[in-house]
Structure 1
Amino acid sequence: MDVDVLVVGAGAAGLALAVDLARRGTRALVVERADGLFPGSRGKGIQPRTLEVFDDLGVHDAIRAAGGPYPVGMIWQDGKRLGEHTMWDETDVQEGSPYHEPWMVPQWRTQEVLFARLTELGGQVAFGRELVGIAQDAEGVTAEFAAGAPVRARYAVAADGGRSTVRRLLGIGMTGETVDPNPILVADVRITGLDRDNWHIFPPADGEGFLAVCPLAGTEDFQLTAQMEDGGPAIDLSLAGLRAVVAARSHLDPADVTEVRWASEFRPRAAMADRFREGRIFLIGDAAHVHSPAGGQGLNTSVQDAYNLGWKLAAVLSGAAREALLGSYEEERLPVAAEMLGLSTRIHRGEARRGAATQQLGLGYRGSSLAVETRTGLDATALRAGDRAPDGNRGGVRLFDAFRGPQWTLLSVGGAPVPELPGVRVVRVPSYEAYGDGVFLVRPDGYVGWAGGTGEGAAAYAARVGAGG
């Protein structure tokens, strides 16, 4: 084998997976058809749960430095400010959730940060490698490219976007719907005449669609988004074309748009692959599910696909866990992707608001075969196996600091005795209401795998899932 894992696509999902594998010592190679990283701002919202993931992967500080909070929306009409528009419903600040608002980082910058982290860990990306064929057998996967030698890997992961070549070659269908028949123009531009304190919104008028101009934190750019006409003339992505759109829909002059740095168009749709796995090949990110950009769920769901799959691949490849563990990837992530697709679509259509649900802190895997809850008589609001393990400070221990890293963590709350599990970090804290007294075996991706009133049964579970191996 040339590598343990071949990752096809150097977007946010592929890079996040490669970072997770690299810190575990797993030999992985990322191949990317383009000659460099994606240049646009498209997926610019990093949700609180993804900030927690980035904290664990060692890129949180760089992500915070690269972006900023979302600006308040400002509604314009006829060159006058009509008033502010709040994009997000406020949510309560809780000790168990250190991040409680989305953070704006242009997608190109997020990918640069992940790429730098991957390089730091010794990982690599092979650019200019266009996949043209993929086959698998009982031992591994063989990938063929338009140029250069084939690559042989134990497993392969498709992270190559909504038009995934891997998915097409595997014959996996994509089922979905058009969310909005009108195409959307999105571009990164330089604009004069608008402040950078607001997300400037120009509602539809005179038969034109909406226009929104958002300052991109950490840059001099604005992200321009405009709804175009279904069946209308071809969308002009040139400087002249964008100037015409801005002049027609706002009080700005054409010359106020001084530069186009990146531009694209798309039709909002919601679609999901019929399955997320074919033998030794897995689908993550847009290759598995395509979202409307409303609500900022696409990139975040994609990164969390990678975070779910990385530790499982590493455990199987190291021999710590049986291959059956890999079956839990689709089992856990497909329902989550379906839920987030539905949420994105409702937000796009104005049927739901951006708020607690979009932060993805409440997502979990209670129904998973990996979630084993041995306690009885729990309150309806109690933390259970399958839930995200909360943060908190108790007895001089910050839990997220204790969980950070690629290992499993055995957490004793309130003095419950725990067994010694080889390779598993043991953490003891006094009673904490977010957990309740008991024993919790926390997975490498920050979810409770096993929970009990005592440690009895934890060792058997750990052996089954390869904890500590």
Structure 2
Amino acid sequence: MTAATPTAVLIAGAGPTGLTLACTLARAGVPVRIIDKSPEFHRGSRGKGLNQRSRELFDDLGVGREAAESGSEHIALRKYRHGVAIADSIAFDDRAPTPDTPYASGLLIPQWRIEEILRGRLAEYGVEVELGRELTEFTQTEFTQDGGGVTAHLADGGRIEAAYLVGCDGGHSRVRKALGIAFDGETEAEECMVIGDVRADGLDPAYWHQWFDEDAAIMLCPFPGTAHWQLQGSPERDAEGRLVPPSLETFQRLFDRCARRPDIRLTDPTWTSVYRINVRMADRFRVGRVFLAGDAAHVHSIAGGLGMNTGIQDAFNLGWKLAFVLRGLAGPALLDTYEEERLPVAAWTLNLTNERLRAVVEGIKEAGVGTETVVTDDITTLGVSYPWSSLTGPGPLAGERAPDGKCAEGRLFEAFAGTRFTLLGFGPGTTGALARALDGVGEGAGEGIRTVLVDDDDARKAYGLRGEGLVLVRPDNHVAMSVGPDRAEEIASYLKALAG
């Protein structure tokens, strides 16, 4: 994007959250720039999985297949005690895809590869990540007659003007701190783990190996297409109880102690870090023209693997709303619903991951029990819904994730893909009702709305309908409202109100 191109949205932070948001905006034709203070793209595995809901959203963005080809499903978790393998388990192994839920399991894939895939998609829209550009401060003009905006100042002396700024810059967010937003919670300074990427030649990559003993633990997780494994384990401390910085040597000592495999030497560490449990959440996700998303808005335990996924889903929620407002399809009030919907989800996520962490800590004390205790339906986030939202209308499934299913055009998820509302007519007799639902809507939220006829019993059941009906699906694939054909005018009223 050239400097002369007006910037509608500036995104600070090019991790999965920022990249998902940038892709969502760019495909809607919204001029966007994304900056990151790092001088180069990192190659650490960090977050290592897409859950079932994020996989659906990646399909919507057109990168689901590429992600699937780079990851693995249903990997076996092998538990050890005193170096001896005692139990195997596979997360969601008892599940199978259904007509309304295409993914029975998550996808094991390193964060660096997820970011690589999203950057590739973003480049197709003509947008590149601007590396080595650190945001230092910004000023904003609230909504005024001339539109207002944000002026961001960078460490290199540059300045970027945009209509909106979104902080996707992690737990130490400069954007959040500049806004003065509280980040309440706690940090467990003493409770931590070491983490890194290493080679472990000779270890069977068919398993995620997990050694849990009474006083130490180490886990090695493989990734398809790479010789490196992600290592997580207990920290080493010196005689005074101080943390010894992680290194190949400390990793090897921990491995030797727990795995008892003298035939295997760890090599080629490409990334090392210390993970401390932070449980914090911002008390606001928006101040004027500036928003927070992902770790900048909430951080929590890694139990359940929801950190990266929650950020991706924040971005998908915010992206369509910014696009609608900037394209003149909805009034500015639509942006208030981002915090209204996602702040309660963040609070729920913090509570869930705290509970799952406690379950893991207690579970690993027992022989044969490991991290599989985090595997519950909650971590799929397929059940996340917005029944409290001002965008939620009447009817079955209103506010909930819209199920997949068969339709006249193939699959419903294929019909939903993109940045517009979709109006479903269940039953061949709804053709007239579909027309009445859009009568007089004109420009605004109803612009370019896709109408789809559905005459499939499984799909009707999935949407909670007994007979014919109309279902309005939001651009983020949540049900906005569901009504009978005789109430088609209510859909028109909803869209007109959204347009402001």
Partner of 1:440: 471
Q: Aligned with 2:213: secondary structure?
A: coil
Seen in structure 2, the aligned counterparts of structure 1 residues 31 and 37 have a Cα distance that, compared at 3 Å, is same
Q: Does 1:385 align with 2:394?
A: no
The TM-score normalised by the length of structure 1 is 0.93
Partner of 1:114: 118
Matches within 5 A, 1:165-180: 165-178=174-187
Q: Does 1:372 align with 2:393?
A: yes
Candidates 420, 433, 450, aligned match of 2:481: 450
> Which amino acid is the alignment partner of residue 194 of structure 1?
L
| Shift, 1:261, TM fit | 1.2
Candidates 226, 230, 233, aligned match of 2:233: 226
Q: Does 1:103 align with 2:131?
A: no
The TM-score normalised by the length of structure 2 is 0.87
> Which amino acid is the alignment partner of residue 464 of structure 1?
A
State percent identity of aligned pairs: 41
Matched residues in 2 for 1:450 and 1:363: separation?
A: 16
Matched residues in 1 for 2:447 and 2:284: separation?
A: 35
Partner of 1:362: 383
Moved more, 53-62 or 222-231: 222-231
Seen in structure 2, the aligned counterparts of structure 1 residues 395 and 255 have a Cα distance that, compared at 3 Å, is closer
Post-superposition Cα deviations, 1:338-393, rounded to whole Å, max 9, x if no partner, equal 111211111111076312111011111111000011x4xxxxxxx32111110011
Q: Is the 8 A contact 2:357 2:374 kept in 1?
A: no
Q: Aligned with 1:384: secondary structure?
A: coil
Matches within 5 A, 1:111-260: 111-138=115-142, 139-178=148-187, 181-205=190-214, 207=215, 209-228=216-235, 232-253=241-262, 256-260=265-269
| Shift, 1:37, TM fit | 2.3
| Shift, 1:85, TM fit | 3.7
> Which amino acid is the alignment partner of residue 158 of structure 1?
G
Matched residues in 2 for 1:52 and 1:36: separation?
A: 29
Partner of 2:370: none
Partner of 2:448: 423
Which runs of 5 or more residues in structure 2 are unaligned?
Answer: 143-147, 361-372, 439-445
More helix by share: 2
Matched residues in 1 for 2:88 and 2:187: separation?
A: 30
Q: Does 1:299 align with 2:308?
A: yes
Partner of 1:462: 495
Q: Aligned with 1:268: secondary structure?
A: strand
> Which amino acid is the alignment partner of residue 251 of structure 1?
R
Candidates 394, 399, 403, aligned match of 2:412: 399
| Shift, 1:428, TM fit | 0.8
Q: Is the 8 A contact 1:7 1:156 kept in 2?
A: yes
| Shift, 1:87, TM fit | 4.5
Seen in structure 2, the aligned counterparts of structure 1 residues 396 and 8 have a Cα distance that, compared at 3 Å, is closer
Matched residues in 2 for 1:14 and 1:390: separation?
A: 26
Which runs of 5 or more residues in structure 1 are unaligned?
Answer: 376-382
Q: Is the 8 A contact 2:299 2:307 kept in 1?
A: yes
Candidates 374, 385, 389, aligned match of 1:353: 374
Seen in structure 2, the aligned counterparts of structure 1 residues 270 and 90 have a Cα distance that, compared at 3 Å, is farther
Moved more, 446-455 or 330-339: 446-455
Q: Is the 8 A contact 1:384 1:448 kept in 2?
A: yes
Matched residues in 1 for 2:70 and 2:96: separation?
A: 25
Partner of 1:378: none
Seen in structure 2, the aligned counterparts of structure 1 residues 130 and 394 have a Cα distance that, compared at 3 Å, is closer
Partner of 2:18: 14
Q: Is the 8 A contact 1:296 1:358 kept in 2?
A: yes
